Amino acid sequence: MTLDLPLIWAGILAIAVLMYVLLDGFDLGIGILFPFAGSPAERDVMMDTVAPVWDGNETWLVLGGGGLFAAFPLAYAAVMPALYIPILLMLLALILRGVAFEFRLRARKRGKAFWTAAFTAGSLTASIAQGLVLGGFIQGVTLKDGAFAGGPFDWLTPYTLLVAAGLVAGYALLGATWLVWRTEHELHGRARLWAWISAAAVAALLAAVSLATLFVHVRIAARWGYENGAFDLGKLAPLLPIPALGLGGLAILAAGLMRRAHFLPFLGAGLVFLSGYLGLAVSFFPNMVPYDMTFRQAANPDNTLALLLVGAGSLLPAILGYSGWVYWIFRGKVRAGAGYH
């Protein structure tokens, strides 16, 4: 039996990026919600809920970049220069918000105010930049002989801005539902309100992005059975479970919020993200750089992918195991002054 190594690696990377979006999504969301906290003490609690895990969450982004480099270098070499500006914007923003975790603890008055603002600005900018990267990716990258051959601002269109707005709302939703789950008292109540607002924004923007994608990007529309103004149900029907999953997620989210459940809203928000992610995946597959490079064309030779698989096959289960254990250690409601450091 021979393994289809490029396919396996496309799957591993897809999971790594999904892990990143879900995990760093909620801690970026907390940065986005930071200005709406009721008091400085609430802000400290919000940060404390993610302080022990944010670093591990962000490591999935490093795996996304490093894994793309290692397994699909042609895609990496084509996409990164195409999205040069939003990617570097994201990195710079992540620096500011990343150091804010420690710097806020060590700062005095003015410094603390500055790093609080930097945490918000960095989280928001990183989320917008990721939205622009995603939007630019959906739009497609101009390639010539496998290398980027477009302009430096190809990624900046009304469509990509819409996607960025959607992602910001989505991260805010993940952050708010995380706080519903992990905090109590006033902050918990406030987070419930944030969750309602961001859920409404997500539902509207997700619908808008989906429609815009169908109208703007003919190839994706065709994949979903929409051609020449009519839907082909034979193509659409097998894909319907994906939007159904999204609607189900929204329903769980709304029901959870109405029944004052603690964990359900976070689960619902996660399902909404999963549905959006799967929707994108089926829209592109087997393209890795839309719309001219498949994952097979982008892949490294089998001897490289095989070695990588030996490493990832033994290490990824361990990573999932001990990351889960760390989350377990820090389970439960986070209270003010939880005794950090």
Residue ranges binding other proteins (CB under 8 A): 51-53, 55-56, 58-59, 61-63, 65-71, 73-74, 76-81, 84-85, 87-88, 91-92, 94-96, 98-99, 101-103, 105-108, 111-112, 146-149, 152, 300-301, 303-304, 307-308, 311-312, 315-316, 319, 322-323, 326, 329-330, 337, 339-341
Cis-peptide, bond into residue 291, ω within 30° of zero: yes
Other residues' Cβ atoms within 10 Å of the Cβ of residue 51: 20
Name the residue nearer to other proteins (CB basis): 105 or 261.
105
Structure tokens at 184: 């109590």
Name the residue nearer to other proteins (CB basis): 48 or 205.
48
Q: Say if residues 37 and 117 touch (Cβ distance below 8 Å).
A: no
Q: At what angle do helices 241-258 and 185-216 cross, to 10 degrees?
A: 160
Least distance from other proteins to the Cβ atom of residue 107, Å: 7
Name the residue nearer to other proteins (CB basis): 102 or 232.
102
Name the residue nearer to other proteins (CB basis): 211 or 329.
329
For residue 151, report the phi and psi dihedrals to the nearest 5 degrees.
Answer: -100, 165
**Is residue 106 classed as helix, strand or coil in its secondary structure?**
helix
Least distance from other proteins to the Cβ atom of residue 110, Å: 11
Q: Say if residues 87 and 129 touch (Cβ distance below 8 Å).
A: yes
Least distance from other proteins to the Cβ atom of residue 294, Å: 16
Name the residue nearer to other proteins (CB basis): 226 or 330.
330
Name the residue nearer to other proteins (CB basis): 94 or 242.
94
- Which residue, 316, 237, 322, 312, is CA-closest to 282? 237
| Separation between Cα atoms, residue 257 and residue 229, nearest integer Å | 38
Least distance from other proteins to the Cβ atom of residue 261, Å: 25
Name the residue nearer to other proteins (CB basis): 13 or 165.
13
Least distance from other proteins to the Cβ atom of residue 61, Å: 7
Least distance from other proteins to the Cβ atom of residue 165, Å: 23
How far from 118 is each of 34, 40, 111, 325, 333, CA to CA, in Å? 11, 15, 10, 30, 26
Least distance from other proteins to the Cβ atom of residue 56, Å: 4
Name the residue nearer to other proteins (CB basis): 58 or 284.
58
Least distance from other proteins to the Cβ atom of residue 158, Å: 22
| Separation between Cα atoms, residue 189 and residue 282, nearest integer Å | 38
Structure tokens at 37: 């906290």
| Separation between Cα atoms, residue 120 and residue 98, nearest integer Å | 11
Cβ contacts of 25 within 8 Å, gap of 6 or more: 170, 171, 174, 175, 273
| Separation between Cα atoms, residue 26 and residue 178, nearest integer Å | 7
